[in-house]
Structure 1
Amino acid sequence: MDIIITMGKLQKGVSRYNFEALYFCVPFREQLLDYYANNKTTGDVEENLLTCLADLFSQISSQKKKTGVIAPKRFVQRVKKQNELFRSYMHQDAHEFLNFLLNELVDILEKESNAAKISPEASSPSEKVANGPRTAQSNGVQKEPLVTWVHKNFQGILTNETRCLRCETVTARDETFLDLSLDIEQNSSITSCLKNFSSTETLNAEDKFFCDKCCSLQEAQKRMKIKKPPHILVIHLKRFKYIEQLGRYKKLSYRVVFPLELKLSNTVEDADSEYSLFAVVVHVGSGPNHGHYVSLVKSHNHWLFFDDENVEMIDESAVQTFFGSSQEYSSNTDHGYILFYESLATSSKS
């Protein structure tokens, strides 16, 4: 059993909602600790978000006690310093925080890689592609994007296929992703949400597609498919929706079943990729502007429930209590929000 050290209670403006999920993401944790060990031996490194997170994970993993509380004060101070969004006591979104954190880690690793290269063109400006890596350009020539260990864990590739209905030409455009954001419906499942995500959409009327072969606007069919599944699949359920009539965001408490074992179909290869659930970030509360986050994590076949300083072991069957509510008005406000799945192919190697 891994040591169980919770992060302690933080003010609402700073997320601790993803710490436990990321810590129990074994490949990510191991590579972060390797980074920490290598940089410790090579000399002083300027403090940044990556070094603060690595130091925090190192403190946890090196603890002799099996239980305890570590307050991530240094990391929190660094987050506040870099992003004013997290300086207030306002309730912040766990998904936004995860995106901010992973992209910051990628930026730092890219800068360190560029600084380590002797070639002067290595420091040329780069352009972000989706929420994944960057593609550098030098003298008008596009260079291969740097793939960091953050990308190797979380990055997948989507392909956006558009078929012209007049000439049948298919135009495909790839884009990277670090997580999948899925629209949700009442009494649905992750599988059905993924099918809707990859469903075919017809482009007509004002939304016609400009076909390069026809050299004109044409009716077309468009669909998004997963070209390369990631090793760690992060699924974000869109529980917060803007309601025009209300003029504000509302939390959708819909019941969305997320399985412990997930088969990812609708990929370009048409081969199922199998995943195992190892962490869930749960939003507790009735609305988007207030509430609380707790985490469920799986370690050595045991499920653990993290709520600030409190940690308890729960039965695997208890995970389903966080699927959501089957009725619009329910006293249950604890709903799965971000799901972390690990590829069974990856976990078998580690």
Structure 2
Amino acid sequence: MVDGVALTMGVAGSKLEKALGDHFPEGERYFGLENFGNTCYCNSVLQALYFCVPFREELLEYYSSNKNPSEGDENLLTCLAELFSQISSQKKKTGVIAPKRFVQRVRKQNELFRGYMHQDAHEFLNFLLNELADILEKESHKVTSLPQASSAEHVANGVNYAQVNGFKKEPLVTLVHKYFQGILTNETRCLRCETVTARDETFLDLSLDIEQNSSITSCLKNFSSTETLNAEDKFFCDKCCSLQEAQKRMKIKKPPHILVIHLKRFKYMEQLGRYKKLSYRVVFPLELKLSNTMEDTDSEYSLFAVVVHVGSGPNHGHYVSLVKSHNHWLFFDDENVEMIDESAVQTFFGSAQEYSSNTDHGYILFYESLSAPKS
């Protein structure tokens, strides 16, 4: 172990290199992550984010511009950027890295992740993305009026700026927002006067209710389906100045570049008095067309990572991740990394029966838009 880096992965590493042979992608690194006592929830999410290539590249650019922060300046962003840099700059193609500093920072920052209990990967992803965005926004507020900079310098701090008379203006969007943020529109139509009230809200991921033997497409349709508000749920219409029956629906106004879909596999069962894991079979395609958006054209996405929950309940189990890199699928299980066939992805859809010995189910899906990100 050198500086928190285990430089070999033994048989698994050489097996992976042998499997890829001459097809090992130029400059790419496939490293497992050491587990520090139930940190699989963290490792699985980190692998998915690392293989979100445009996000990784901007984070590496941020790191090269903000190397060696003083102790007071160290935060989750600098620790994540350092970890990504550590992986990408390894001399070996495969191995194991100990994300010790990053995990210590997570535990220092959020008491929820301090113990050695099983944690939820989706909660961790939410916490991490929001924290990164907050740090970048705070950093950008320190920059008031600076001389005109090159476009490379504009993103060096992870923030894109508007230019006004050669001076930087208020930041428009952090790199977290640039890649992960979409906009939802909540439309409510009064059934008496037909007035439509629309309210926009941003999202970094979509949490979808799931049903047995369904698909991501049908879950998204249900998410955007029309709901009638009546009886005790009537809507206060400003135009009618009274409570009225109404119809409401949620639509995607602006799809994100990276669409993160969280499948709500943990449901509170009142009769049991606890949460139960739904092992429902939910098909997630390798290519996804997002048609229920406000835009006229379909948004096309390609699946590049899946965080998988292994186990029968919410309070115990394990997380692994599947990642697509240079047209190869890889399976990351903490320190271990191996190649899998693309057809193996469907074994993580879930079970068509209520009781099944297979407890490995897709939990968080990462899709990348096939078009360039909008700044």
- Asked if 1:12 is matched to 2:38, the reply is yes
* Identity score, percent: 85
The one-letter amino acid paired with 2:135 is: I
- Residues 110 and 146 in structure 1, CA contact (< 8 A), matched pair in contact too: no
Structure 2 unaligned residues grouped into runs of 5+: 1-24, 147-168
CA distance in 2, matches of 1:53, 1:26: 14
CA distance in 1, matches of 2:213, 2:140: 46
Aligned to 1:294: 320
CA distance in 2, matches of 1:42, 1:312: 35
CA distance in 2, matches of 1:249, 1:146: 40
Q: Deviations over 1:144-197 (max 9, x none)?
A: 884201100000000000000001000000000000000000000000000000
CA distance in 2, matches of 1:148, 1:48: 16
Structure 1 unaligned residues grouped into runs of 5+: 120-142
Does the C-alpha gap of structure 1 residues 41 and 83 become closer, same or farther in structure 2, counting only changes over 3 Å?
closer
1:43 is displaced (CA, Å) by 8.4
1:327-338 maps to which residues of 2 (within 5 A)? Answer: 327-338=353-364
Aligned to 1:191: 217
Q: Deviations over 1:227-282 (max 9, x none)?
A: 00000000000000000000000000000000000000110124210000000000
Aligned to 2:251: 225
Aligned to 1:149: 175
- Asked if 1:84 is matched to 2:114, the reply is no
Aligned-pair Cα RMSD in Å: 2.0
- Asked if 1:215 is matched to 2:215, the reply is no
The one-letter amino acid paired with 1:250 is: K
The one-letter amino acid paired with 1:235 is: I
Aligned to 1:168: 194
- Residues 276 and 344 in structure 1, CA contact (< 8 A), matched pair in contact too: yes
Does the C-alpha gap of structure 1 residues 75 and 41 become closer, same or farther in structure 2, counting only changes over 3 Å?
closer
1:8 is displaced (CA, Å) by 1.9
Aligned to 1:250: 276
Q: 2:230 aligns with which of 187, 204, 209?
A: 204
Q: Calculate the TM-score normalised by the size of structure 2.
A: 0.84
The one-letter amino acid paired with 1:313 is: M
Greater RCO, CA 8 A, separation 6+: 2
CA distance in 2, matches of 1:45, 1:299: 36
CA distance in 2, matches of 1:180, 1:316: 25
1:231-242 maps to which residues of 2 (within 5 A)? Answer: 231-242=257-268
Q: 1:102 aligns with which of 129, 139, 144?
A: 129
- Asked if 1:47 is matched to 2:37, the reply is no
Does the C-alpha gap of structure 1 residues 20 and 167 become closer, same or farther in structure 2, counting only changes over 3 Å?
same
CA distance in 2, matches of 1:109, 1:310: 32
Aligned to 1:29: 56
1:116 is displaced (CA, Å) by 2.0
Number of aligned residue pairs: give it.
326
1:42 is displaced (CA, Å) by 9.3
The 3-state SS of whatever aligns with 2:372 is: helix
Q: 1:71 aligns with which of 64, 80, 98?
A: 98
- Residues 42 and 121 in structure 2, CA contact (< 8 A), matched pair in contact too: yes
Does the C-alpha gap of structure 1 residues 167 and 295 become closer, same or farther in structure 2, counting only changes over 3 Å?
same
Q: Deviations over 1:51-94 (max 9, x none)?
A: 00000000000001000000000001101101011111110000
Does the C-alpha gap of structure 1 residues 35 and 220 become closer, same or farther in structure 2, counting only changes over 3 Å?
same
The one-letter amino acid paired with 2:51 is: F
Does the C-alpha gap of structure 1 residues 346 and 6 become closer, same or farther in structure 2, counting only changes over 3 Å?
farther
Does the C-alpha gap of structure 1 residues 43 and 87 become closer, same or farther in structure 2, counting only changes over 3 Å?
closer
- Asked if 1:324 is matched to 2:350, the reply is yes
Aligned to 1:126: none
